[in-house]
A and B are shown apart, each in its own frame.
Chain A
Amino acid sequence: MKSISKFIALFVVLLTVSVFETGSAMEFQIPAQELKLDNGLVVIVVERPGTGVFSSYIVTAVGSANEKPGSIGAAHFLEHMLFKGTKSIGTKDYVAEQELMDKQDSLWNRIDQARQQSRYIKLAGDEGAYQKHLNWVSQMEALLDSLIADEALYVVKNEYEELYTRRGAVGFNASTGYDFTDYIVSLPANQLHTWFVMEADRMKNPVLREFYPEREVVLEERRLRIDNEGEGKLFEQFIGTAFIAHPYQLMWEWKSDQGNIKREALKKFHHQFYAPNRTVIGLVGDIKFSDVEAFAKKYWSDIPRQPEPDPIYTVEPKQLGERRVDVNFDASPALYIGFHKGAFDDPDEAAFVVLDRILADGRSSRLYKSLVIGQQLCSNIGTEAFPGAEQGDLYPSLYIISAYPKDGVDSRIVETAIYEELAKLSTVPVSARELQKARNNIQADFIWDAYDNDGLAQKLAQYQSTARDWRYMLTRMEQIEKLTPDALQSVAAKYFTKENRTVATLVPIVRADATEGGE
Chain B
Amino acid sequence: MQSRFALRAITVGVIVILVFALVSESSAQDPRKIVAPELELSAPTPEQFALENGLRVVFLQSSELPVVRMTLMFPGGSVSEAADLAGVSGITANLLRTGGAGSLKAEEIDERLDFLGASISSTAGGDNHKLTLRCLKKDLAEVFDLFSLILREPVLDSAKLALEVSNKSDEIRRQYDSPTGATRTLFYRTVFGDMLYGRYPTLESVASISGQSVKFTYNRVYTPSRGILAVSGDLTRKELEDLLNTSVGSWKGTRILQRPIPVVPSEEDLPKSGVYYAYKDISQTSIRLGHLTQLFDSPDRHAVRIMNYVVGVGFAGRLTAKIRSEAGLAYSVGGYFVNRPTYGSYFAYCQTKAEATGQALQMIVDVLSEAKENGITQKEFARAKESILNSFVFEYETPHQVAQAVAESVFYGFPSEQTALDLEALKSVTLADCNRVAKEYYRVEDFRIVVVGDTAQMDQPLSDFGVVTEISLEVE
Residues of A that sit less than 8 Å from B by CB? 17, 19, 22, 24, 26, 28, 48, 50-53, 83, 88-89, 152, 157-158, 161-163, 165-170, 186, 188-191, 193-194, 197-198, 201, 210, 212-221, 223-224, 227-230, 299, 330-332, 361-365, 369, 372-373, 376, 379, 404, 406-407, 433, 436-437, 440-445, 447-448, 450-453
**Known pairs A190-B39, A223-B283, A223-B284; A52 contacts B316 (CB<8 A):** no
Q: Which of B385-443 contact A (CB under 8 A)?
A: 386-387, 389-394, 396-398
Interface string of B351-377 (1 = CB under 8 A from A): 111000000000000000000000000
CA distance A17 to B324 in the complex (A): 49
Q: Is the CB of A163 within 8 A of B31?
A: yes
Tell whether, in the assembled complex, residue B325 and residue A213 are in contact, meaning their CB atoms are under 8 Å apart: yes
Q: B166 CB to closest chain A CB, in angstroms?
A: 7
Residues of A close to B67: CB separation below 8 A: 447-448, 451
- Say yes or no for B315: interface residue by CB 8 A criterion: yes
Query: Is the CB–CB distance between A214 and B397 below 8 Å?
Result: no
Chain A residues positioned under 8 Å from B38 (CB to CB): 190
CB pair B394–A170 under 8 Å, yes or no, is yes
**C-alpha spacing A448/B28, complex, angstroms:** 38
Q: B299 on the interface (CB 8 Å rule)?
A: no
Can you name the residue of chain B whose Cβ is closest to the Cβ of A51?
B397
Contact assessment for B386 and A52 in the assembled complex, using a CB-CB cutoff below 8 Å: no
Given contacts A166-B386, A223-B283, contact A53 B115 (CB under 8 A): no
Alpha-carbon gap, A89 to B28, bound state (A): 14
B residues 15-54 in Cβ contact with A at 8 Å: 16, 18, 20, 28-32, 34, 36-39, 41
- In the complex, what residues of A have CB within 8 A of residue B390's CB? 166-168, 188
A442 to B117, CA, bound (A): 8
Q: A214-B328, A364-B107, A404-B170 are in contact. Are A83 and B31 (CB under 8 A)?
A: no
Q: Which A residues lie within 8 Å of B114 (CB)?
A: 361-365, 437, 441
B136 in the interface (beta carbon within 8 A): yes
B352 touches A450 (CB 8 A): no
Kindly state whether residue B10 has any CB partner on chain A within 8 Å.
no
Interface digits, B323-346 against A, CB 8 Å rule (1 contact, 0 not)? 011111111100000000000000
Residues of B within 8 A of A24 (CB): 138
**Within 8 Å of chain A (Cβ to Cβ): is B237?**
no
Among A166, A224, A230, point to the contact of B331 (Cβ < 8 A): A224
Docked CA distance A422–B383 (Å): 56
Contact with A along B87-116 (1 / 0, CB 8 A): 000000000001000000011001101111
Are A157 and B283 interface neighbours, CB within 8 A?
A: no
Q: In the complex, A17→B117 CA distance in Å?
A: 12
B281: Cβ under 8 A from any A Cβ = yes
> By the criterion CB–CB under 8 Å, are B383 and A213 in contact?
no
Complex formed: what's the CA distance from A411 to B3 in Å?
A: 56
Q: Which residues of chain B from 214 to 242 have a CB within 8 Å of any chain A CB?
A: none
Task: Please give me the residue from chain B that is nearest to A80 by CB atom.
Answer: B331
Knowing A217-B330, A228-B282, A407-B173 are in contact, say whether A197-B31 is a contact too (CB < 8 A): yes
Known: A362-B114, A376-B166. 6 other contacts (CB 8 A): A22-B138, A158-B320, A168-B394, A188-B393, A190-B37, A223-B284
Smallest distance from the beta carbon of A146 to chain B beta carbons, Å?
A: 14
A194 touches B321 (CB 8 A): no
Contact of A26 (CB < 8 Å), options: B115, B138, B282: B138
Is B171 an interface position by the 8 A CB rule?
Answer: yes
CB distance from B67 to the nearest CB of A (A): 6
> Residue A53 contacts which of B282, B316, B393 (CB distance < 8 angstroms)?
B393
Whether the pair A161, B315 counts as a contact (CB closer than 8 A) is yes
Our pick among A19, A191, A224, A379 for the contact of B167 (Cβ within 8 Å) is: A379
Supposing A26-B138, A213-B327 touch, asked if A407 and B170 sit within 8 A by C-beta, the answer is yes
Contact yes or no, B394 A53, CB < 8 A: yes
Given contacts A228-B179, A441-B114, contact A220 B284 (CB under 8 A): yes
- Pick from A158, A219, A362, A407: contact of B315, CB under 8 Å: A158
B169 part of interface (Cβ distance < 8 Å): yes
B178 touching A229, Cβ below 8 Å: yes
Interchain CA distance A344-B320 in the complex, whole Å: 39
Distance in angstroms between the alpha carbons of A197 and B33 in the assembled complex: 11
CB-based nearest B residue for A440? B117
Assess A158 versus B281: contact at CB under 8 Å? Given A53-B397, A186-B394, A361-B114: no
**Consensus secondary structure, chain B interface:** mixed
For B31, the chain A residues whose CB sits under 8 A away are 89, 163, 194, 197-198, 201
In this complex, which of A332, A404, A450 has the most chain B Cβ atoms within 10 angstroms of its Cβ?
Answer: A332
Docked complex Cα distance between A362 and B97 (Å)? 12
- B177 — which chain A residues lie within 8 A by C-beta? 230, 330-332
Whether the pair B283, A440 counts as a contact (CB closer than 8 A) is no
> B180 to A379, Cβ gap below 8 A?
no
Q: Which of the residues B36, B107, B115, B328 comes within 8 Å of A212, measured between beta carbons?
A: B328
| CB-CB contacts below 8 Å: B166-205 with A | 166-167, 169-171, 173-174, 177-180
Q: What is the distance, in angstroms, from B348's C-beta to the closest C-beta of chain A? A: 16
Q: Are B36 and A363 in contact (CB under 8 A)?
A: no
CB-CB under 8 A from B180, the residues of chain A are 224
Q: Is the CB of A213 within 8 A of B328?
A: yes
Name the A residues within 8 Å of B389 (CB-CB). Answer: 168
- Closest-by-CB residue of A relative to B111 is A364
Interface residue B163 (Cβ < 8 Å from any Cβ of A): yes
Chain B residue nearest to A84 (CB atoms) is: B325
Q: Give the nearest-CB partner of B321 in chain A.
A: A157
Name which residue of chain B comes closest to A329, CB basis: B177
Q: What residue in chain B is nearest A188 (Cβ atoms)?
A: B393
Query: What residues of chain A lie closer than 8 Å to B179, measured between beta carbons?
Result: 228-229
> What are 18 of the A-B contact pairs (CB < 8 Å)?
A24-B138, A51-B41, A158-B316, A163-B31, A167-B18, A188-B39, A189-B39, A191-B36, A197-B29, A216-B328, A216-B329, A220-B351, A229-B179, A362-B119, A365-B114, A440-B115, A448-B134, A451-B398
Least Cβ–Cβ distance between B314 and chain A, in angstroms: 6
Residues of B within 8 Å of A331, CB to CB, are 174, 177-178
Report the separation of the CA atoms of residues A10 and B329 in the bound assembly, to the nearest whole angstrom. Answer: 49
CA distance A241 to B98 in the complex (A): 38
Shortest Cβ distance from residue B83 to the other chain A in the assembled complex, whole angstroms: 23
Q: Which residues of B contact A190 (CB under 8 A)?
A: 18, 36-39
Once A165-B391, A440-B116, A445-B117 are accepted as A-B contacts, the answer to whether A379 and B316 lie under 8 Å apart by CB is no
Residues of B within 8 A of A229 (CB): 178-179
A89-B31, A215-B328 as given contacts; A363 in contact with B383, CB under 8 Å: no
Q: Does B256 contact A (CB under 8 A)?
A: no
Query: Once bound together, how far apart are the Cα atoms of A452 and B331, in whole Å?
Result: 28
Residues on B with C-beta less than 8 A from A404 are 170, 174
Residues in chain A near residue B13, CB distance under 8 A: none
Specify which chain B residues have a CB less than 8 angstroms from the CB of A299 in the assembled complex: 29
Among A50, A214, A363, the one with the most B-chain Cβ atoms within 10 Å of its Cβ is: A363
Which residue from chain A places its CB closest to the CB of B119 in the assembled complex?
Answer: A362
* Alpha-carbon separation in the docked complex, A113 to B463 (Å): 41
- In the assembled complex, the CB of B95 is this many whole angstroms from the nearest CB of chain A, namely 13
> Given that A437-B115, A444-B118 are contacting pairs, would A332 and B394 also be in contact in the complex, using a CB cutoff of 8 Å?
no
Complex Cα distance A218/B393, Å? 33
Nearest residue (CB) in A for B118 is A444
A217 to B37, CA, bound (A): 38
Give the CA-CA distance A65 to B65 in the complex, in Å.
37
Given the known interface contacts A363-B110, A437-B114, A443-B117, the answer about A83 and B353 at a Cβ–Cβ threshold of 8 Å is: no
Q: Which residues of A contact B282 (CB under 8 A)?
A: 227-228
Whether, in the assembled complex, B301 has its beta carbon less than 8 Å from a beta carbon of chain A, the answer is: no
| Alpha-carbon gap, A17 to B166, bound state (A) | 40
Question: Which residues of chain B come closer than 8 Å to A201, judged between CB atoms?
Answer: 29, 31
A211 to chain B, nearest CB (A): 10
Residue from A26, A190, A230, A407 with most neighbouring chain B CB atoms (10 Å): A190
CA–CA, A218 and B327, complex, Å: 12
Note all chain B residues with C-beta closer than 8 A to A50. 41
Bound Cα distance A482, B397 (Å): 37
Does residue B66 face the partner (Cβ distance < 8 Å to A)?
yes
B324 engages A217 (CB within 8 Å): yes
- CA–CA, A437 and B114, complex, Å: 7
Q: Is the CB of B314 within 8 A of A165?
A: yes
